[in-house]
């Protein structure tokens, strides 16, 4: 199939590259000329495991190309995917201006019947509105299908190549069957391709992310209660996870969730509910998450006192999760901002997010080439991202480097008893008082 992928962010690049990998001819389109030129010479402007190799191979073999010419890409394509940004607006809803602008551009460029696919995360009813816009601007037939993505940053390529499920929502049966055949190579094991109406497809993405966010906020609130009552959240979590109705996934306590999806999507659902529904549960999920981001700052302040001007603090991890360079809504941002506001000297290291950190903080913080370098002479280490590189450090070496043997573990990477044996003052999340 000839495919035009409009938008070259995480979703567009991963989706386009994976389609090319299965033999389709894909052109990825963006208005950013500098980004397109980067991609043409093999420079991928984001970190996603396995993506660079996928782009290099499919570009070399002629199945994947990059362009700023949307009209030409649409003319060549049988299916046009809209994968542009839908940033949060101040009221919490999604800004659909880019989606609708692309729909207008598609209508002007159409030279025959097309399947248009909304891949961006969009509120319920967006596919219908996109169809209206395109039909108003062209005399050619168009079928609009909602195809929400369920990709996790850090494992997005694997998620796309081996999906738990594929959701296709629309009212044109022929278009749905055509797209179903496009996805069939990715589900040889029989994982379902679900055909539904567009509104249900659009809602499914929000509902799935809202449930994941709810599990995280629930376990974080329970962790706070464990600290108050002297219980161990890790033992509680294990008992919960053995109940097949709950399961072990997304019940790991920490300093809250971030990224480009969960925070934005639960706020978009709240906005969709409006005054009529209010969405009290999701409002609480969001509120708990925002509160959780301050938890490590509270522990640091209790240990060192309110003013931190006398402290040098080493930060391990800046991305919102491991295996990505994405710092959007990262809990680390709240922590680092709070440390700076309190007067602390901050040294930071992240295996992939250093470039993004420099864009945000400039010379307000110091940067190291590894986790031990930033710890040298520091009064404490704060672990903010669960990178594998941080899971088994040389504790005797770390203790020797630090001015004080203090660890604030925002991801519960270590065993408290082991940390006591190593001689550290150790703070974690939901494991006793502290």
CA-closest candidate to residue 385, choices 325, 308, 345, 311: 325
Residue 261 a catalytic site member: yes
113 close to 142: Cβ distance less than 8 angstroms: yes
Element (H, E) at 143: strand 142-146
3-state secondary structure of 398: helix
| Rounded Cα distance, 208 and 210, in Å | 5
Place of tokens 């979590």: 237
Considering the candidates 28, 226, 261, 311, report the single residue annotated as catalytic: 261
Please choose, from the candidates 387, 388, 383, the residue with its C-alpha nearest in 3D space to the C-alpha of residue 410.
Answer: 383
Q: Is 121 left (phi over 0), alpha (psi -120 to 50) or beta?
A: beta
Q: What's the rounded Cα separation, in Å, for the pair 309 and 299?
A: 16
Q: Phi/psi of residue 423, each to 5°?
A: 85, 25
Phi, psi (deg, nearest 5) at residue 42: 90, 10
Phi and psi, residue 90, nearest 5°: -60, -30
Q: With beta carbons less than 8 A apart as the criterion, state whether 106 and 80 touch.
A: yes
Q: Which phi and psi angles does 5 have, rounded to 5°?
A: -110, 110
Using CB atoms within 10 Å of the CB of residue 320, give its burial: 0 to 12 exposed, 13 to 18 middle, 19+ buried: buried
Report the candidate in 344, 355, 290 with the shortest Cα–Cα distance to residue 318: 355
- Catalytic residue IDs: 261
């Amino acid at each position: 199939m000839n495919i035009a992928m409009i938008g070259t962010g995480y979703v567009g690049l991963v989706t386009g590259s994976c389609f090319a990998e299965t033999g389709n001819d894909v052109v990825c389109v963006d208005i950013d000329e500098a980004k397109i030129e980067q991609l043409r010479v093999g420079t991928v402007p984001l970190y996603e495991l396995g993506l660079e190799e996928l782009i290099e191979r499919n570009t070399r073999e002629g199945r994947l190309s990059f362009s700023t010419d949307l009209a030409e890409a649409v003319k060549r394509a049988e299916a046009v995917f809209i994968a542009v940004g839908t940033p949060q607006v101040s009221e919490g809803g999604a800004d659909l201006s880019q989606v609708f602008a692309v729909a207008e551009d598609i209508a002007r460029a159409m030279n025959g019947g097309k399947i248009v696919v909304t891949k961006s995360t969009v509120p319920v009813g967006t596919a219908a509105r996109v169809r209206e816009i395109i039909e108003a601007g062209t005399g050619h037939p168009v079928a609009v299908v909602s195809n929400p993505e369920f990709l996790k940053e850090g494992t997005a390529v694997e998620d796309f190549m081996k999906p738990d499920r594929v959701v296709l929502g629309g009212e044109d049966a022929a278009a749905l069957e055509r797209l179903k055949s496009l996805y069939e190579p990715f589900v040889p094991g029989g994982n379902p391709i679900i055909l539904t109406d567009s509104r249900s497809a659009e809602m499914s993405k929000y509902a799935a992310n809202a449930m994941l966010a709810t599990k995280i906020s629930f376990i974080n609130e329970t962790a706070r209660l464990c600290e108050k009552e002297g219980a161990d959240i890790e033992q509680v979590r294990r008992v919960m996870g053995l109940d097949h109705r709950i399961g072990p996934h997304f019940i790991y306590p920490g300093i809250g969730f971030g990224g480009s999806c969960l925070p934005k999507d639960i706020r978009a659902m709240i906005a969709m509910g409006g005054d009529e529904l209010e969405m009290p549960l999701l409002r609480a999920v969001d509120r708990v998450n925002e509160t959780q981001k301050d938890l490590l700052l509270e522990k640091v302040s209790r240990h060192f006192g309110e003013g931190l001007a006398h402290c040098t603090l080493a930060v391990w991890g800046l991305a919102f999760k491991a295996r990505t360079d994405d710092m959007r809504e990262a809990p680390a941002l709240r922590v680092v901002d709070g440390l700076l506001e309190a007067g602390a000297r901050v040294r930071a290291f992240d295996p992939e997010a250093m470039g993004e950190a420099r864009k945000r903080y400039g010379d307000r913080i110091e940067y190291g080439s590894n986790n031990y370098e930033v710890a040298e002479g520091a009064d404490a280490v704060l672990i903010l991202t669960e990178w594998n590189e941080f899971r088994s450090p040389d504790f005797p070496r770390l203790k020797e480097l630090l001015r004080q043997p203090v660890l604030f573990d925002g991801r519960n990477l270590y065993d408290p008893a082991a940390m006591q044996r190593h001689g550290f003052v150790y703070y974690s999340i939901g494991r006793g008082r502290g």
